[in-house]
Amino acid sequence: MQYLFIIEILGTIAFTISGALAAIEKKLDLFGVLTLGFVTAIGGGTIRDVLIGNTPVSWMRDLTTPLVILGAGLFTMVFGRYLQKLRTTLFLFDTLGLALFTVTGMKKGLDLELNHGICVALGTITGCFGGVLRDTLTGQIPALFHTREIYATACILGGSIYFGSLHFLPAQAAETIAIVVICTTRLLAVRYDWKLPMAKPL
């Protein structure tokens, strides 16, 4: 559907900018900035494709994504300092991308008739693990693991509701519900400062 395609582009742009800005902050060069943007945007989907054997991985078979990333990466290289001010817009795009990529990942798992719990894990990997690669490659412990944000948790919640909905709704309606749940959860979590628990120190 058309609106899913638009969300995918917006999400890809937001993920690329997040990687490219992290790279600029670490004083990487042109190649580093573009590569970090690329890895952040396609990293989650690539890990998913490799884990399920969907090769050559997706971005090698459709040039739309690589070209969008190249454009967004070059744009960030030049206008990075202005992009930083669009924090709220980028946050919204990022959230949309997170939700859509999660759904895309779950559907790939369903195609292979994997267990629904595994599909939710695949969706979460698709949405979140580009950022894990971005942080690892810039020498940081992945934010996903320690900021206590409701990020992967939103994917897991939305994914569970997706499979619940599939029992009595057509696939497209269930997808829309999952996207809405993931976005809403993430927005509410930021708004009300919901946090994940930590263990007591050892």
Q: Which residues bind its own copies (CB under 8 A)?
A: 21, 23-33, 35-36, 46, 50-53, 55-57, 60-61, 63, 66, 76-78, 80-81, 84, 109, 112, 114-115, 117-118, 121-122, 132, 136-142, 144-148, 152-153, 195-202
Min separation Cβ 62 and its own copies, Å: 9
Cα–Cα distance measured from residue 114 to residue 17, given in angstroms and rounded to the nearest whole number? 33
In the complex with its own copies, the residue whose CB is nearer, 7 or 186, is 186
Place of tokens 């993430």: 186
Min separation Cβ 3 and its own copies, Å: 27
In the complex with its own copies, the residue whose CB is nearer, 71 or 173, is 71
Min separation Cβ 78 and its own copies, Å: 8
3-class DSSP assignment, residue 197: coil
Burial label for 184, CB within 10 Å (0-12, 13-18, 19+), is middle
Min separation Cβ 154 and its own copies, Å: 11
3-class DSSP assignment, residue 201: coil
In the complex with its own copies, the residue whose CB is nearer, 7 or 43, is 43
Cα–Cα distance measured from residue 152 to residue 156, given in angstroms and rounded to the nearest whole number? 6
In the complex with its own copies, the residue whose CB is nearer, 68 or 118, is 118
The contacts of residue 9 (CB under 8 Å, 6+ apart) are 64, 68
Q: Which of 132, 133, 138, 129 is nearest to 24 (CA)?
A: 138
In the complex with its own copies, the residue whose CB is nearer, 39 or 183, is 39
